[in-house]
Amino acid sequence: MEPSRTKSLSDVELPELDVTRPAAEQIFAAVKVAILRMDLPPDCLVSENEVGQKIGASRTPVREAFTQLREDGLIVTRPSRGNFVSRLSEHRIREAQFIREGLELNNLKRLCHTGLTDQDQESLHAVLERQANCVAKSGDLEFQTHDDHFHEILASATGYERASTLLKREKTALDRLRILSLSDAHRKRDLLDQHRLILETVIAGNEKKACLLMQDHLRAVLSDLASLVAEHRSFFE
- C-alpha span between 178 and 170 (Å, rounded): 13
User: Is 1.20.120.530 the CATH classification of the domain at 90-235?
Assistant: yes
- C-alpha span between 7 and 126 (Å, rounded): 39
User: Is 3.40.47.10 the CATH classification of the domain at 9-85?
Assistant: no
Residues with Cβ within 8 Å of residue 151, at least 6 apart in sequence: 104, 167, 171
pTM for the whole thing? Answer: 0.85
- C-alpha span between 16 and 7 (Å, rounded): 22
pLDDT (tens digit, 0 to 9) for every residue of the chain, 237 residues total? 444 444 567 778 888 898 899 999 999 999 998 998 888 999 999 999 999 999 999 999 999 999 999 999 999 999 989 999 999 999 999 999 999 999 999 999 999 999 999 999 999 999 999 999 998 886 688 898 999 999 999 999 999 989 999 998 888 888 888 888 876 678 889 999 999 999 999 999 999 999 999 999 999 888 889 888 998 999 999
Q: From the centroid of its chain, how far is CA 195?
A: 16
Transcribe 41-60 into DSSP letters. Answer: -TT-B--HHHHHHHHT--HH
- Cα 42 to Cα 22, 107, 209, 221: the distances in Å are 27, 33, 39, 19
Domain boundaries, the chain: 9-85, 90-235
Alpha-carbon dihedral 209, 211, 213, 214, rounded to 10 degrees:
160
